Structure 1
Amino acid sequence: MACWTAAAVVAAFGFGWLTFSPLLTLTVAALVAVGAAVVGVQRTRRAGRVDLFHPLLFPTAYIAVATLAPVAWIWSGQGDLGFVTRDAMSERTPLLMALAVLGFTLGAAVPFRPLRRRGKPLDPGLLLLTGRALLLVALALAARDYLAGAVITRSLGQDVYSSADVVTTIGFMAAPAAATMIFTARYQSGRHPIGADVLPLLALIGLLGLNGRRGAALSVVVIGLVFITRRAVGTWKVAAGMGATAVFAYAVVIYRTAQLGGVTALPTLAVPLRDLGSVAFTTGMTDLSVTYPQSTTGGSTIVAGLLRQLPSPIAVRLFGAPDDTGTFVFRNVTGLTASNQGYGFSIPAEGLLNFGVVGVLVLSLVAGIAVAWLYGRFDPTSSRTVGLLYPLAIGTLPFAWRSDTLGAVKGVFYPAVALALVLIVARSIASAYKPATPRSVARARLRV
């Protein structure tokens, strides 16, 4: 509660006076994120050791950097970040970014009681087998994309839908689902954290990187690190793994730019900031293009995103073309209708589009609360789906934060459905072949 109270006081102070100083507003939001990290360390230390993937640590740190750093770079006079230019964004973009970080941090600070019911025993062998099968599917699709030159065509034809897009989506979602199943099975069976699965996992990560699909590759890495931190692994080793992950993400950005024939004519630090800048860009452009409150959509794009969680062929047949989702409405209101632009959308921008400035805070708050709620239920020994969703949510968070509601929810929902189906069968097998115990034998004799 101390973090919640402190952040609320800082927010009230910041929005009452600091809105006239963009850099000071960004600084206040960054300090709140730093304070939240301190609280996160204190909370996890009480449980025995620091958990770097607590909602107030890695998730909040990522959101703060991805949301604040590009704007701070531009507003401090360091220059534009490629397509992320100051002229393309409203002058209150720093305030909107600060609101987004404060909202997420407040939500992530909500303490939820740990889940006490682990569910019935399950067969980890089936979970491991299914995870490996999905991993092979993801590998095959990634290899197909690599041979087809996916790194060059990654952002082309975004307003055209075909059966090939469905296959690509399956490949994108199979990777985090496979990783979750494999690491859960290895944890529950007491095996080495990675063991024999290390080579196919590294192959998948490498292929996804060569295809320019940084988000999918990072989801596999982050999911693995979340499970590894629950073992007796030193905090510094996990931190080193996170550092190596950041280097990999940077390398993918450079490689992707080079493959497209571009030149990275930016300082070293600015290269990843340009890649993270879509959150600020989409929010700032939305703020320039929408008239408040007349042009706000009142939650319609959020509802459309939730309704369209059905498979795309079914959703299009039921609801028509997805021109009512956040990404498409953003294209229409800003005039960025070219099919080959890859700006996407973002959670703060969708909050702004639907409810104005307060929507940025509220939708970010909801995202933070969802992450905190899933963390409170995370248990790598659980056989219940809700107990294993946190790694999925954190692994896909970088993608979700830069998506509309449709993409953000679907990135977790479909892997969760696959996981739930496998868990049902794994529990059934464990129940059917449960070994007899002295107590169960005694009860059988009594019945006779």
Structure 2
Amino acid sequence: MAIEIKAPTFPESVADGTVATWHKKPGDAVKRDDLIVDIETDKVVLEVLAEADGVLAEIVKNEGDTVLSGELLGKLGAAGAAVAAAPVAAAPVAASAAAPTAADDDAILSPAARKIAEEGGIDPNSITGTGKGGRVTKEDAVAAVAAKKAAPAPVAKPAAPAADAPVFAVGDRVEKRVPMTRLRAKVAERLVEAQSSMAMLTTFNEVDMTEVMALRSKYKDLFEKTHNGVRLGFMSFFVKAATEALKRFPAVNASIDGTDIVYHGYSDIGVAVSSDRGLVVPVLRNAELMSLAEIENGIATFGKKARDGKLSIDDMTGGTFTITNGGTFGSMMSTPIVNPPQAAILGMHNILQRPMAINGQVVIRPMMYLALSYDHRLIDGKEAVSFLVTIKNLLEDPARLLLDI
């Protein structure tokens, strides 16, 4: 009896999906919980696993087809029937008869030859025998091992370029057209929507990272040891500073719903993460209640999930404020785009040693530019600037985070 392979049930926010990749072909054996097919939605890639052992009997929806929630993707057949129907299962009788069996090994390979071949890392069955009846002698094995040692080492082939990043020879006037992934298309749609529906403005400031860097340098080893391998980075300081600033300026943590302003009594911080499939923004929920270690652990978990394509829709649903760190790629300054329906986004940038005037003296300090893009319909310029200055002050004197001042 065939088992139906169906698309997973999509959340209300996801209308449909696209068959991204079939990991099995008709006739392939499948074990329970094996990955069969990936379904790409506007937000995440969903994996469909096998419900039982068997063989993939039929593919109903091909790669690139649009599927709805719970729609039939293919069928899984019983192992015996499907394998028998697969063309690869039948082998020519003549070839089968000619192949030596395990019971014949001793008749064509002497024990001494077998030992020499195995020690030399050679498959004994690959040696041509010169003895009586094709028997592989000790001399045959010695010669094969010597030939292997004399052979030049194989040259490693360069890795094949990614399908969406073709590499062309210099001077070629070649073009390659590939379909945009649903995730990238959705991100593009939301970015255009944000710019066309908001009165978006960006304000800048700079922060002296001396104290944060000194604190991190002093305690990073003890921090990692105390918190079971969790590393202390800069992002946790920014998340803590942001949650404190959001308490003081609730409009920055609010959103517009029609003609209403929705103020949130919690801080769900979205952390922008770059993945092979596009930009994703998983959310740290109730970040205002999290410790630095919990924040760092959450970010590290999201980063691994993004690289492995394991982020769930729940991981990226909601969010009241977003932080993006272009500095990891060397960005000096940028104007990040607000993630609707949020009202603001904080952009971090590269840390550079720059000359600064401190108490009438020119000193070299590690400086970072900060950018806050915000919806001017909801947030006034005074609030936006004050919010950014608050983050600056908290980071330049981290003790303020502990003293709540």
Structures share fold, TM-score greater than 0.5 = no
Structure having the larger proportion of residues in strand: 2
Larger helix proportion, structure 1 or 2?
Answer: 1
Q: Which is higher, the Rg of structure 1 or of structure 2?
A: 2
Which protein has greater RCO, CA pairs closer than 8 Å, 6+ apart?
Answer: 1
Relative to the length of structure 1, the TM-score reads: 0.22
